[in-house]
Structure 1
């Protein structure tokens, strides 16, 4: 029995299960399933995935103002005033049982990233609260910046908290995203050039980026490296046209049609809504990438194609990598480094690649993610017929939105829209911060020069704008 996508009952017969996904996010937000008990340290981040999904699905009106305030209060209690960051859960928070005035929980750079964005998501102006208060009033911004600076290691990498010895490109991304969120010039807080050098050391021969120097390329870490460079304002001068083309090639090579899925997995309503006949997946032995099949003389692709993304060569498809790869492509596309790829003045090494090497099919990715929807529970799983989870659900939603937005240079035939795919059912998504653009706009307002004065009236912080 297939786990085909459900419909919302809308007149256009879209297969995107908006209402079911809203119900799934609400259930997880209000009571996490027991399977999440082992990951209780990540409870705050799970909240970010749930609320972020509701924001993308235009479902924030399902949470009233009192409930939102309760969540904001819980998040603010995760702040460690002595160390300057947020923890993921109240493991040793004794304030409810003693006269202690501060949390003893260890703050973490990942949870700090999630907490700041979650406070913004829970406070975006809505019909029932068109002029909300700045949710960051009272945030000890200098202490937060001290925490971020303390997480940087001498080689430019970042660890999860100052006493840790880990180095990981994912923590570099969190640091860059936090500084962009609070609208503070990175050079005022961290050694940006050392971080750029560390990211360069994480770059691999194939154009991807590893978790640390000398480790293999992976979709998630490639996204983190590119997003960090973009947020730090250093992507343009860190990648030549040749480098950028190699990275694009590596990313689009991750789009793969999986032979474990067959034509029987198609759904009539899904196919009708996407504007094509019965969906078929190319039966490619050894799971060849989509791009290889599009080179001149290659095997013709069946239409419409269903193809998601893998994290590394030879690995299975996974909905989360649909986000990591499409978001990375979106970041490159919006920078001038992409126009240098497209220019006829690129070096001989870059021009040696066929134009088809830039091919990636956003519509095929959307089809794959729609097949990953859970008809029974709502939510999106890592792969068709798997159980949904908050992590894959949120990233899949982001990838669907980004795939609608990707245009021309990554779309076959230089098309301006995804023909037959209808309108984007989701909010437009920021690929660098991984939240809806509407929330980015609100957070920028909160951390504008005027907002900084509300947050820290006695402190002068040099802001970006």
Structure 2
């Protein structure tokens, strides 16, 4: 098995923090997400070696993405995903609409990056948890077929805008956790979200085959399954008391997302399955009959960890899973991981590959003896942050 190329991965993340290739210019609207993947990737590698001055300067950069607005008689606070959106007036006049939209995912990425930078946003005057939760609660749908779900932004008219799916439920509940809103008494939660309706929304997306999907009665997807399961966990859902048989079906469905073929591979490949690819073995896919993809290694196995603890990870072939990432999707030239063995690396797949390797190393009672593994830190599977950042949240952040 190839070694984990720690030094190259460190250089790759630092390169992405400084500049991105021209073909990634379209990702400027996801700048806070890219920063999150790179900063927490370095943190997992034990290479987040910023000086106190750098930490403060980088934290100020994140704080500069905050939006404070008054809507009606209510004040809200959120983050924008990129400073590009601060250029918010199309014609430069005070009467033109603002396209600097308060963004749910950016608010999550902003807060969670501040954790890695050891910025105690609970003690400064830049963050107001009630204003942020007012913003989050405004995005939750109060009626209709998607009642309980969330949309991703407040639109130009400052009403919920965009598609409604499980990803936004997950980020909303993560924000609630990062602000420790769930630890307040009910009377102190001025702008809490409706937990009962969000659990109903999520439960309605459980597929008959196991897993969760974007809409009722549609095909389940590994990424959405993680978002749904993690969101249910963050909402305090009782998996044992409410499971019927869907939890067992979901575990079975997740395990079968690991790509494998019968032992008679030659005849199988040539006679029965033209698209057989030996490099795909050990990886995980997002849906039935799809090829492996680096990120699904995380979405599938982290879902198993949330549902079953370490025992859930005993159900996969961990050696094949490690080999798929290290031998196939790890870029040996510049570092980072691509979505597959033929794709240029990117920050999302690079971070989720390291997160997967970290979780397997620290949760599975099997050998993980490749060079470089000793430098991988622990990962929190629910918030998808390093254990150091989770400790900072638990022990330092007081709001």
- TM exceeds 0.5? yes
Distance 1:133 1:320, change over 3 A: closer
SS in 2 for 1:80: strand
Equivalent residues of 2:46, 2:375 under 8 A apart: no
Equivalent residues of 2:206, 2:246 under 8 A apart: no
Choose from 363, 368, 373 the match for 1:406: 363
2:82 matched to 1:89? Answer: yes
For 1:327, the equivalent position in structure 2 comes to 302
For 1:78, the equivalent position in structure 2 comes to 65
Q: Distance between the aligned counterparts of 1:207 and 1:426, measured in 2?
A: 32
For 1:375, the equivalent position in structure 2 comes to 332
2:144 matched to 1:158? Answer: no
For 1:232, the equivalent position in structure 2 comes to 235
Distance 1:420 1:20, change over 3 A: closer
Equivalent residues of 1:57, 1:427 under 8 A apart: yes
Distance 1:25 1:201, change over 3 A: same
What CA deviation, in whole Å up to 9, does each residue of 1:378-412 have, x standing for no partner? 111111242110010011111111122333xxxxx
Equivalent residues of 1:309, 1:318 under 8 A apart: yes
Q: Distance between the aligned counterparts of 2:245 and 2:366, measured in 1?
A: 28
Correspondence list, 1:264-413, <5 A? 285=269, 306-334=281-309, 359-371=315-327, 372-407=329-364
Correspondence list, 1:384-463, <5 A? 384-407=341-364, 416-418=365-367, 424-447=374-397, 451-452=398-399
For 1:18, the equivalent position in structure 2 comes to 6
Equivalent residues of 1:90, 1:105 under 8 A apart: no
Distance 1:420 1:91, change over 3 A: closer
SS in 2 for 1:379: coil
Give the Å deviation of 1:446: 3.3
Choose from 113, 119, 132 the match for 1:118: 113
Give the Å deviation of 1:255: 0.1
Distance 1:133 1:309, change over 3 A: closer
What CA deviation, in whole Å up to 9, does each residue of 1:208-238 have, x standing for no partner? 1012323320000000000001111114256
Choose from 61, 65, 68 the match for 2:52: 65
Distance 1:45 1:282, change over 3 A: farther
TM-score, normalising length from structure 2?
Answer: 0.82
Choose from 185, 201, 204 the match for 2:182: 185
For 1:128, the equivalent position in structure 2 comes to none
What CA deviation, in whole Å up to 9, does each residue of 1:320-363 have, x standing for no partner? 0001001101111239xx89xxxxxxxxxxxxxxxxxx831122
Q: Distance between the aligned counterparts of 2:27 and 2:194, measured in 1?
A: 33
Q: Distance between the aligned counterparts of 2:43 and 2:219, measured in 1?
A: 34
The range that moved more, 28-37 or 233-242, is 233-242
Give the Å deviation of 1:137: 1.7
Distance 1:258 1:375, change over 3 A: farther
What CA deviation, in whole Å up to 9, does each residue of 1:92-151 have, x standing for no partner? 4259xx9x9xx972121111111100011112xxxxxxxx75576221111001011111
Q: What is the number of residues matched between the two proteins?
A: 361
Distance 1:287 1:84, change over 3 A: farther
Equivalent residues of 1:16, 1:425 under 8 A apart: no
Q: Distance between the aligned counterparts of 2:198 and 2:121, measured in 1?
A: 31
2:94 matched to 1:145? Answer: no
Unpaired stretches in structure 2, ≥5 consecutive residues: 70-75
Equivalent residues of 1:208, 1:250 under 8 A apart: yes
Q: Distance between the aligned counterparts of 2:112 and 2:241, measured in 1?
A: 27
For 1:299, the equivalent position in structure 2 comes to none
RMSD over equivalenced CA pairs, Å:
3.0
What CA deviation, in whole Å up to 9, does each residue of 1:409-451 have, x standing for no partner? xxxxxxx33365685541111111001111011012233xxx2
Distance 1:185 1:313, change over 3 A: same
Q: Distance between the aligned counterparts of 1:281 and 1:141, measured in 2?
A: 58
Distance 1:134 1:84, change over 3 A: closer
SS in 2 for 1:308: coil
Distance 1:134 1:178, change over 3 A: closer
Choose from 38, 48, 52 the match for 2:26: 38
SS in 2 for 1:28: helix
SS in 2 for 1:84: strand
Correspondence list, 1:226-265, <5 A? 226-236=229-239, 239-240=242-243, 242-257=245-260
SS in 2 for 1:91: helix
For 2:172, the equivalent position in structure 1 comes to 175
